[in-house]
Structures are given as C-alpha cells and as structure tokens.
Amino acid sequence: MPTDIATKPNTIPQRHDVNAEHTWKLTDIYPNDESWEADYKKVQSLIEEAKTYNGRLGKLAKTLYACLEARSDISIIMMNLYQYAYLSKDVDNRVSKYQAMTQRGMMLSAQAGAAFSFIEPELLKLDEKKLRALAAKFPRTDYYDFYIEELIRSKAHVRSEEVEELLAMSSVVARGPDTIFSMFDDADIKYPSIIDEDSNEIKLTKQRYAKLIESKDRRVRKESHEAFYAPYKEHVNTLGASLASSVNKDVFYTKARRFNTCLERALDGDNIPLSVYHSLLDTTESNLAGLHDYVRLRKKILKLDEIYPYDMVCPLFPDMERQTPYAEAVRQVIEASKPLGEKYVSSLSKAFSTRWVDVFETEGKGGGAYSWGNYSTHPFVLMNYNDTTDSMFTLAHEMGHAMHSALANAAQPYPKAHYSIFVAEVASTLNEGLLMQLMLKGTDNPKEKLSLLNRYIDMTMGTFFNQIMYARFELMIHSEVEKGGALSPDIMSEMYRNLTQQYFGPDLVVDEFAPLKWCRIPHFYNMYYVYQYSTSYAASQAILTKFINGEKGIIDKYLEMLSSGGKDHPIELLKICGIDMATPDPVRATLNLFKTQVAEMEKLAL
C-alpha cells in the first residue's frame, strides 16, 4: 500500500508496491503487446497504400477526401501505438522492451509522415479557388475546412515534395536531444541522500525534493537544494551539449521552413502574432516591482538576513500546512469542479474511478506530471503524488487538461480535435483557480486564509512569472544561435544567473546552483512552449473573475470553448469567453492582481 511505502524513507517504491486502482489501465489502448504488434503491422501495410494517391489529389474531390481520411486513420492508430509504448516505458524507464517499442513507434510515425508528405506540396500547386472548390465537394465539408484554409495560409513554408519527405524522415534524428535528456533525467540520474527534519536518511528523488524544498527547516531546504543540483553540475557539459543540439535542431528546421526566426516558426502554427510574445515579456519585465516586493516580504516573514533560491518555495505559514492524502485530493478536485455543471462533474468522477491516473512515484517512473489525450480511448494522466497540497493542485491542473481532451474529442472530428497548448493551459490553470476558490470559501480561519493567499501568490509565481523568465531564456539562447553564436554551459548559466537576479530582485542571493536550473527543464526541448503557461494563466484568471462575478452565460461559453478543440486559432477561441490575448490587458490585470495580493498579505502578516 502507498501508505506503507511512505514509512520507508530511504527506499524508493517499486511498481508492484502500488495498488492496481492507482495505476494506468493501459489495456484500454491495447489488451496486450501482441495486439500492439498487430496494429504496428497494419500501419506498415497502410503506409504502402499512401503511394496510390500520389499525383491524383487535384483531380477528384473523392480522391482527395479519401487520401486525407487515410492519413487520419493512420494517425489515430499511430497515436495508440506510440502512446501505449511510451506510457508502458514511462512507468519504468529502465525496461528495455518498452524503450525499444517507443523507438519503433517513433520510427514508424516518421515513415508514415514521409509516406504522406506529398499531400501539402501537391495541394499547394493548385490554384486556391480550385482547392476550395474540391473541398466544397467533400462528403463531410466540416471535417477538413479549417485544415484547407490553414494550408493556404502556410503556403510560403511548405517545401517541395522531395524536401518534405526528407524533413519527415529526419524527425527521428531530431528527437535525439530530447530522448537523451529524458534518459538521463528519468533513468540514469542518481541523487544523493540527505538527513531530514526527523534525522532520517532520505534518498532524494524529484518528488521527494519537491517536498523537502518546502521544509520549514532551513538546513533541510539548503542541503536538499545542493544535493539535488549536484548531479546536474557534475554532468553540466553533457546537458549543455544536449540543449545546444536541441536549439541547433530548432534553427535548422526554421531555415528549412523559410522562417526568419525560431520564434516566428513556433508561433505561426497557431497564427499567434509575434507581438503577443514580446508584449508578454516586455509588459512583465516593466512591472516586476510586485515580484521584488514579494521576495522582500518573504525575507521578512521568514526572518532571514539573506534570502536564497531554496527559501522561495517553502510555505510562509507551515503550521497551517496539512497532509492531503490522494483520496481527499480527488474529493476536493471533484467538488471544486461543480461550477462547471453536473455533466462535467460526472465525467470527471468517472475518470478517477476508471484508472485514467497513474498516481504514485515508483523507481524508474517518469518525473513530474502530464496529461496525454487519446482520440480513440480516453486521456491518461501521470502523477507522482506525494500527499502535499501542491500535489493536489497539480492533480487539478492535469485533470483540467484531461477533461479538455475528452470534451474536444467527443465534440469534434479527428482533424479538428487537437487543440493548441495556448488554449490547453487555460483549462488546467482555471481548474487550479476553482480549487483555490473552494478552499478559500471553506475556512473562516484568518491564518488559514493567509496561508491560502500565500499559495495563490506562489501559484502565480510558478505558472506566470517563472514561465515568462523561462520564455525570455528561450528567446536568448535561440537568438544567440540565430545570429551565428554558439552555446556553452557557461554562457547559458550566466544568462540564467542574470535573469534570476533581474526577475527576483536585489534581495535574492543567487547561489552557485540556481544558474544551473536550465539543465533540468524538459520544456526547453519543446521550442517556445512555456510562454503559453503565462498567457493561458492570464486568460484563465480573467475567465475565473467572470465566474466569480456571476457573468451570465460564461459557464456555457467556457465549455463551448473547451469542446471546440482545434477548429479555430486559439486567440479566436478565447474570444468566445470575451478574452482578447492580442492586447496586453489580461497580462497587466494579472500583474496588478499579484501586486494587490502581496500588499494584502503584508498587511495581514506583519
């Protein structure tokens, strides 16, 4: 039982120690590995059929439609193949069988992409009028209409059939830096042990570090921080080479696709104006006074002469902190979702009871948390639950993603079901906001309210400020390579050191380990991903305010937005809820709210 495991602080739980109800039911994808192999062979044969469409797409609407449907069918099967293999691997990254199946899945996906790579170049040879005329004769005109319009918009960046085939084939090699980092960070890395508050020797893991760094004992925080970053410092050259290779890969594809910058390429897919990204960074960096005030306030409340990075996440009011077992977290997350309606609550409850979630940390399991939607089954959520309130909020976050996927998949055809990360993080962070509102309403204790206010502020720090700082770092490292420079561990560490000081202000003492944080951020291997946390958080806070103020119809509008999947550009989908991210207003509002909350905390605490 997980509760029994927790009594053995110097051991790491094994997979067989966890109750089945707290693990994924991967048989919902495939009943066994043999069924996976059968679908693998099926895709291989379907790939051969792709060539029968080559050169014929501009003649008859039914031929073009059949080709697009064939690609969709293969994509759905490929999603099952890759997800089953990867999730099987991720519960224990040491198992070579599933490492191999994951690699095979990636290679098959690349082959499928290459097999259908003729579609876009062939279609873009057609006159736009003819292409739209063909689409108007499809058996279902509402399946591929957005795809056709997006294809026309992207015309300048689609290459010849031969180049597209090579780019598709190169995708396996391009995943190298990410795969190498993942193998190091999830499978090979070995953390040392430390002594906790109760004099127990604790062997560090990512999840244990997340808990220990919140300790009210400053010695424990300091030693955890130093011990956790020691392996990254020891392997900084390898990790530097890995991240630099990833950036070089990004620049290569940017040039191949004829974009001016990696940022332009990253934002083009969702038709996000460059001004949205730059405005996010510039607006925030011009208004860091609230964050600097918070660092100063932390220093006062903790009664420190100097405040270090390891003092930045511990609860300021630890006596009000409580353990939150997983069953209680599930109950709270369901209760918090009630404003979204009975149907949403029923679906969420079913998700918990039918093993969508892999709950506890075990040796070799992938770190952190994520949700992974699947069009033909249901989403799967990875957790490493550790009985903290933070972990409960992470659960609410990931289930927001999962429900978004479930709603979009149910409402949209496959070509329109996949939504942008830009919109996805609205669903996740709004669920966190709903949980926070539930907890604030559930107490009349001033000290507990102060503790919750602290958590709300820390949530804004983690989801908003930290992600914007990461986004600036991404812009810096990509710009360096784009202008002909090279990246080294020293260069990246110096960049990160300066940003840390800029964002957190003069009161924070940046120690030797804080500049190494770039070494351990997996999102840096997914180009310009993290900024969307911040823009989405700003949007979700605006929508949450509409909920709180009782705006008529906002719940229905919000659920409509979630159910819209990817049928339009994300900025347009947010307008369903009356949010315009093309303006700096939501960002400014979030910054002002943060500053107000810091001032309120100072008034209550001192």
Which residues form the catalytic set? 398
Token readout for 277 is 């990204």
Q: Letter for the amino acid at 415?
A: P
- CA pair distance 590, 539, nearest whole angstrom: 9
- The strand pair at 380-385 and 357-360 is best described as parallel
Tallying the residues shown for the chain, one arrives at: 606
Tokens of 319: 């006596």
Q: What phi, psi does 8 have (nearest 5°)?
A: -115, 80
Structure tokens at 297: 């306030």
Residues 40-49: contacts with CB within 8 Å, 24+ apart?
Answer: 40/81, 40/104, 40/105, 40/108, 42/77, 43/74, 43/77, 43/78, 43/81, 43/108, 43/112, 44/108, 46/70, 46/73, 46/74, 46/77, 47/74, 47/111, 47/112, 47/115
Backbone angle region of 303, left / alpha / beta, with phi > 0 → left and psi within -120 to 50 → alpha: left
- Quick one: which H or E segment has residue 173? helix 171-174
DSSP letter assigned to residue 508: B
Q: How distant, in Å, are the alpha carbons of 23, 48, 89, 117, 303 from that of 102?
A: 20, 22, 7, 22, 50
For residue 223, give Cα distances in angstroms to 202, 215, 316, 383, 535.
Answer: 11, 11, 19, 25, 34
Tell me if residue 12 falls in helix, strand or coil.
Answer: coil
Sheet holding 370-372, edge to edge: 357-360, 380-385, 370-372
532 contacts 425 by C-beta, under 8 angstroms: yes
Closest CA to 304 of 226, 227, 221: 221
Q: What is the DSSP string of 404-466?
A: HHHHHHHHS-HHHHPPPHHHHHHHHHHHHHHHHHHHHHT---HHHHHHHHHHHHHHHIIIIIH
How many whole angstroms separate alpha carbon 512 and alpha carbon 515?
7
**CB proximity list for 409: less than 8 A, separation 6 or greater:** 373, 374, 375, 417, 565
Of the candidates 440, 370, 359, 413, the residue with the CA atom closest to the CA atom of residue 5: 359
User: In sequence order, which ranges of 257-388 are alpha helices (DSSP H)?
Assistant: 262-268, 274-285, 289-301, 326-336, 342-353
313: Cβ contacts below 8 Å, ≥ 6 apart = 213, 214, 458
470: left (phi over 0), alpha (psi -120 to 50) or beta: alpha
Q: DSSP class of residue 365?
A: P
